[in-house]
Structure 1
Amino acid sequence: TWDKRYITLAPVATILGLAFRAFDPDHLLGDKDDLGITLALVPTDTPGVKIGRRHFPAGQAFQNGPTQGDDVFIPMEWIIGGQERIGQGWRMLMDSLAAGRAISLPALGTGAAIFCARYAGAYARIRRQFGISIGRFEGVEEPLARIASYAYALDAARKMTAGALDEGEQPSVLSAILKYHATEKMRTALNDALDIHGGRGICDGPSNYLFGVYQSVPVAITVEGANILTRNLMIFGQGAIRCHPHLSKEMKASALEDPKESLEAFDKELWAHIGNATSNVARALWHNLTFAIFATTPEVRGIGGMYRQLHAACVTFAVAADLVMATLGGGLKRREGISARLGDILSELYLMSCVLKRFESDGMPAADLPLVEWNHRMSLYTIQNRLDEVLIDLPNRPVAWLLRIIAFPWGRRRRPPKGSLKHVCANLISADGETRERLTTGIYLGKGKSDPTGLMEEAFAAALTRDSIEAKLREAGKSGRTAVSDLDALVTEGTLSTEDADRLRNANALIREAIMVDDFAPDELAKRIKKAAAKKTAP
């Protein structure tokens, strides 16, 4: 018997995947009462199974709804894996989640960030205020740079993690990192894109290409492991043991049945653990004192220093993780704030590794280097701040003081990207160039004015034409405003050719069309409201 809500595809399902805790009070299958979490596939036409009415999450066409079961009989052959796999449901769920959430939601988040990079950059170029493109204002350059850099990092991490899946791996920790950060960065990118579009972004209608995606963000944040749960419990909670070189081996050694063999195996791993931890403490302090200039890392033109700084951050994180787990022990499960921040550090290390890998795999194009540097600076700055927050909350104060000396012997010296770097990154997506095309490869590009993104593509090209013609006028001592107000006079005096005047008129008309928003008569909106209300009350 069950009563479940928020089940994806439930309204159209012909078979349900059901996770339940199996009990055997009569000991038909063995001597255990509690057999553990088990999975079964149950046809929806089974007596006692009921599919409830459909949910309407975030106004999206997303098939989601409740299911109930009342005293449903489940034959043994419906158990996934049969009798041998009873009690192994949690592992099955985690393995399935490790693969599934490394694909769909990261692809969605990456696609949305890339989409925002292309069209927020285009809009920032075509839209003007006070006679200049809004993309040239520092207040707009900052979110543009963030959108572009997020798009670069997410696509790098998406490809890296998908490659691990292609190799047959089950990267549960990496999939948790990617699901969380892809959807969170998608949320930030869409917020930034809406801020840049202003009224153009919030006025809903057929020509609005942002608002529908913005409305759907909470769905991606919530499904396949809500982001609060993923950040606080899963990223570091799973990674602490799976990624540690000795912890899992120590646990396996302590579980051996032979006491002598168990003690010998545990002692061997314990001493190796102590040696590794001692070495990490010395290396972390040395690298942080010497700014990692002696770190042994790949010497790659343009990014060798980034590899060294990332290496120092990795070793420092290893020391922090070891000492935090040693002092908190099992209590770490209840200190979710500390676990979340350690998870943030682990995530930044992985994402930045993906960024460096992508830059090398792409042939190290110099034009992309500002995006790599933005991500590098922001990652190290975030790592510094999260580690500082861990040390503030760590209950064992002497250990916190020791860690602070190791991690920050010269104080917290990391800084976020500078304004000059933001300016370069913003210009990469608001100007025509190879980086903009490379960054936005793989998304749908509309063709023609009938598609709102197609119209924006044409308007962006028109803006480039407009700007090139106005540049010539400025060289002749004329302002862009003069060109708009009296083109015929400029043609008559020979400052502007007839062809360029026509091109400028057409460009301005196309740009105006692209920045306009949809409008409706009151009765049109009333019909929409009545139609929505009718759907809501329908059985």
Structure 2
Amino acid sequence: MAIWIVALLVGAFALAYIQARALLWLSGLAGWLAVGTASGLVGPTATLVLAIALLPIVMVALVPLRRGLLSRPLLTVFRRIMPRMSATEQAAIDAGTVWWDAELFGGAPRWQRLLETRPPKLTLEEQRFLDEETEQLCDLSSDWESTAVWQDLPPAAWAYARDKGFLGMIVPREYGGLGFSAYAQSQVIQKLSTRCSAAAVSVMVPNSLGPAELLVHYGTEAQKRHYLPRLARGDEIPCFALTSPYAGSDAASITDTGIVCRGIWQGRETLGFRISWNKRYITLAPIATVLGLAFRVQDPEGLLGGKADVGITCALIPRDHPGVRIGRRHWPLNAVFQNGPTSGDDVFVPMDMVIGGQDQVGNGWRMLMECLAAGRAISLPSSNVGMAKLAANSVSAYCAFRRQFNTPIGQFEGAQEPMARMAGHVYAMDATRRLAAAALDIGEKPSVISAIAKYHVTERARIVVNDGMDLIGGKGICMGPGNFLARAYQQIPIAITVEGANIMTRTLIIFGQGAIRCHPYVLALMRSAEGGDSRAFDRALFGYFSFLLCNAARALAFATPLRLLIARPHGAARELARYYRAATRLSTALALASDVSMATLGGTLKRRETITGRLGDVLSQLFILSAVLKRYEDEGRPTADLPLVHWAAQDALARADTALRDTIDNHPSGAARFVLRLLIRPFGGRIAPPDDRADAAVAALVQAQGPARERLFAGCWTPRMAVDPIAATHVAFALYPAVTAIEQRLRPDIRTGRVARLPQNYRELDAWAADAERAGLISAAERGVIADFAEHADIAIQVDDFPHDFGLAEGMRQFENAARYPHPAEAAE
């Protein structure tokens, strides 16, 4: 009897695990009952009772019966309780595509699909542009000159950026642009960000969400022929006005309104709009020559032949159009890229200025949602990876040779922990950036992935820069041309704020959109219910129940040693097998926790932002882990990089595990807490973050010259003394191993007193080297190396100082006498 009962439990568990169809369940249970009856384990009465108990399974297995008795009544109930989705919510849900995020959300990621995705790669032309033109634009720019002198990108840099096509990377070649891939654009923006934020922002905005992208995808042929070549040449400087004072993150609720009417334009009556708008935070607005404008269209007279509230629309309006006002500048945390307000009152805009013409009136929100993914996946991740690389590259170099207590800063265990965080986060951030760009280049429009990249890359950049400031201490807080980190520290909150504050991105977009778009059944369930399609509703509903049961069985199995049976993807590195297993287990747990949350909280889940935020964190960390694992494979499994890979993978897993544990412990539903603990964490425990040994290994790697360090900081601007003395840190870092080798060789002579210990004051190094040379302990060439190191190390550790009035009076006189550089539009003329 016990064996028969165990067979039932094992069989049911196996059927749930494989997500068996209802007919297979019915057949298995009927066979189990038949064996029990034939063997005499159960009598006639028990057989009858058990057969009656199987009737619900019979009902579910027989689809016509199920449809009539269960699905149709449930459809009526579901339609009554399901919150209606607004048009803007529907457009946001429909925008973009799902890709690897759907695999992670589904609970059974097919890792082979990810690993077989071709890695991003530059063409020869793109690589040359990165090595030459982008390097030159970096040479012409600097954070200090932009912020302290011009309060803008320097005029020579502006001219060079326009002349070399930086503003038209997104524009197809047939319209005069560079036609670069998403990955190439990402590489360019990353490199510029390792040098000057104003350069990065000024280049990325015309190539991100704005007129050029909207024209490429939706513009009429006449609009493309007119504007795209001019945008590519820099003859037109674009901006896009979306954010309003009373509709910041809630862009769908913009109050700027255009009334459909007839008006006189170029001497004839034409259909158009009377638009009033008030926008702020508009990047490039102060120097823009053409204004992209999002506004809500009202058609009270029915001139368009449809409803009165037509919806959000996007238009392209010249700066000199009558009634257009460009306001004064905003000053976003000393970033000094051009940013400001724009407004207009009752401005007549002809229909021809709508992007895509009259056919696209009312489709603006969909257009924006579809294009926003590209901007989030390229611009913000790339610029913040660049900023993080700037910090980690320079700080690790500085700490490798900067001595305190006769020991390099980087050798102290207290410094190794933040340095490991910096390097580990940079590795993970860069992997995430690459994978997001790769998705775009294979034709995806990854709305959820782009939100993950935007949120987590900008948040990790904040950690990296903060740790860098702690490590370099006073050098980081004293402003001046020799400070490589202060401007990054000031500007970090900008990326966290733009394109939707990170709080909203985390709590609403990542999970809210992901739960619907990535789930294999939820969207179909909602659409079939809204449309009253009982057949589709039946398939989606019972598919949902089957999916839930499957993930419950898988989660319980993976909470036991059975998780060791999770197969490593074919061809994947053996040394990382445990990470694939852990990620699959957490993916299953995420799918189960999401479904249980939706089932127990229903429509209120939308307002439970602590729960949705944590579930979104699990999904995000799994995507970051996926990017780390794929990067290791794409780069040919370099063994030297394993400390970085292990650190980044362990960090992502620990963060995902913490978010999942917090979700369960704080779940509003007691029933959900009980079920999730039972199935996901029956034995408790946690996934540990990187330990001290992992920190020490990463800190050692990042402070040593070698291929691993070069790969970590690939794509950075190359500091050179001829361009900027800020390069002294890197020159000293490159020379330091030779100096330490000399010191190690002379250790016996130091102990016997033939020569003094290497002085901590680098200005005394030359005299020390002279004594060592006179004693015949080093050669003239070695003395030259030491002198070269001493010169550059001394420059590197100094901080800038200024007159008591910070040179304000003299600076103002110089500024007044400087030739006024032309507005970009004037320069183009």
Shift of 1:104: 1.4
Aligned position for 1:321: 594
Q: Does the 8 Å CA contact 1:297/1:311 hold for their aligned counterparts?
A: no
Change (3 A) 1:77 1:492: closer
Taking structure 1 as the reference length, what is the TM-score of the superposition? 0.92
Aligned position for 2:416: 141
Partners of 2:358 and 2:489 in 1: CA distance: 45
Letter in 2 for 1:527: A
Shift of 1:358: 0.4
Aligned position for 2:504: 229
Shift of 1:65: 1.0
Q: Does the 8 Å CA contact 1:55/1:64 hold for their aligned counterparts?
A: yes
**Alignment match of 2:607 (pick from 321, 327, 334):** 334
Aligned position for 2:392: 117
Q: Residue 527 in 1 paired to residue 809 in 2?
A: yes
Partners of 2:794 and 2:419 in 1: CA distance: 22
**Alignment match of 2:377 (pick from 102, 121, 144):** 102
User: What secondary structure sits across from 2:394 in the alignment?
Assistant: helix
Shift of 1:504: 3.1
Q: Residue 292 in 1 paired to residue 563 in 2?
A: yes
Q: Does the 8 Å CA contact 2:625/2:653 hold for their aligned counterparts?
A: no
Letter in 1 for 2:441: D
Letter in 2 for 1:400: R
Aligned position for 2:785: 503
Change (3 A) 1:506 1:48: closer
Question: For residues 54-203 of structure 1, what are the structure 2 equivalents within 5 Å?
Answer: 54-203=329-478
Taking structure 2 as the reference length, what is the TM-score of the superposition? 0.61
- Which 5+ residue runs of structure 2 have no aligned equivalent? 1-275, 817-829
Shift of 1:498: 5.3
Partners of 1:532 and 1:204 in 2: CA distance: 20
Partners of 2:546 and 2:700 in 1: CA distance: 49
Moved more, 518-527 or 359-368: 518-527
Question: For residues 457-468 of structure 1, what are the structure 2 equivalents within 5 Å?
Answer: 457-468=730-741
Partners of 2:749 and 2:556 in 1: CA distance: 61
Per-residue CA deviations over 1:396-455 (Å, capped at 9, x if unaligned) read 111112112222222132111110110000111111111001111111011226523421
User: What secondary structure sits across from 2:573 in the alignment?
Assistant: coil
Q: Residue 304 in 1 paired to residue 577 in 2?
A: yes
Letter in 2 for 1:162: A
Change (3 A) 1:346 1:76: same
Q: Does the 8 Å CA contact 1:76/1:82 hold for their aligned counterparts?
A: yes
Moved more, 70-79 or 495-504: 495-504
Letter in 2 for 1:290: P
Aligned position for 1:277: 548
Q: Does the 8 Å CA contact 1:463/1:511 hold for their aligned counterparts?
A: no
Aligned position for 2:277: 2
Question: For residues 429-444 of structure 1, what are the structure 2 equivalents within 5 Å?
Answer: 429-444=702-717
Larger radius of gyration: 2
User: What secondary structure sits across from 2:281 in the alignment?
Assistant: strand
Per-residue CA deviations over 1:477-509 (Å, capped at 9, x if unaligned) read 639962438556655655545554453344334
Partners of 1:481 and 1:414 in 2: CA distance: 50
Q: Does the 8 Å CA contact 2:511/2:615 hold for their aligned counterparts?
A: yes
Partners of 1:35 and 1:414 in 2: CA distance: 51
User: What secondary structure sits across from 1:20 in the alignment?
Assistant: strand
Change (3 A) 1:295 1:143: same
**Alignment match of 1:518 (pick from 800, 811, 815):** 800
Q: Does the 8 Å CA contact 1:117/1:148 hold for their aligned counterparts?
A: yes
Q: Which runs of 4+ in 1 moved over 4 A?
A: 485-499, 528-534
Shift of 1:528: 7.5
Q: Does the 8 Å CA contact 1:462/1:510 hold for their aligned counterparts?
A: no
Q: Does the 8 Å CA contact 1:79/1:86 hold for their aligned counterparts?
A: yes
Partners of 1:42 and 1:412 in 2: CA distance: 59
Partners of 1:76 and 1:450 in 2: CA distance: 50
Q: Does the 8 Å CA contact 2:481/2:726 hold for their aligned counterparts?
A: no
Change (3 A) 1:248 1:533: farther
Question: For residues 384-533 of structure 1, what are the structure 2 equivalents within 5 Å?
Answer: 384-448=657-721, 451-474=724-747, 478=751, 482-484=757-759, 490-491=772-773, 495-497=777-779, 499-527=781-809
Letter in 2 for 1:59: N
Shift of 1:173: 0.8
Aligned position for 2:245: none
Partners of 1:529 and 1:223 in 2: CA distance: 32
Aligned position for 1:537: none
User: What secondary structure sits across from 1:70 in the alignment?
Assistant: strand
Per-residue CA deviations over 1:229-248 (Å, capped at 9, x if unaligned) read 21121111111111111111
Partners of 2:756 and 2:591 in 1: CA distance: 59
Shift of 1:71: 1.1
Root mean square deviation, CA, Å: 2.3
Aligned position for 1:217: 492
Per-residue CA deviations over 1:14-43 (Å, capped at 9, x if unaligned) read 322222222233333345332222222233
Moved more, 272-281 or 72-81: 72-81
Q: Residue 247 in 1 paired to residue 522 in 2?
A: yes
Aligned residues: 530
Partners of 1:250 and 1:270 in 2: CA distance: 6
Per-residue CA deviations over 1:118-153 (Å, capped at 9, x if unaligned) read 111101101111111110111111111111111111
Per-residue CA deviations over 1:49-108 (Å, capped at 9, x if unaligned) read 211111121122211111112112233333333333333222111111111121111111
Aligned position for 2:539: 268
Change (3 A) 1:47 1:490: closer
User: What secondary structure sits across from 1:59 in the alignment?
Assistant: coil
Partners of 1:432 and 1:71 in 2: CA distance: 62
Partners of 1:65 and 1:181 in 2: CA distance: 27
Q: Percent identity?
A: 46
Change (3 A) 1:533 1:286: farther
Shift of 1:4: 1.5
Q: Does the 8 Å CA contact 1:449/1:455 hold for their aligned counterparts?
A: no
Partners of 2:778 and 2:337 in 1: CA distance: 54
Aligned position for 1:349: 622
Letter in 1 for 2:803: A
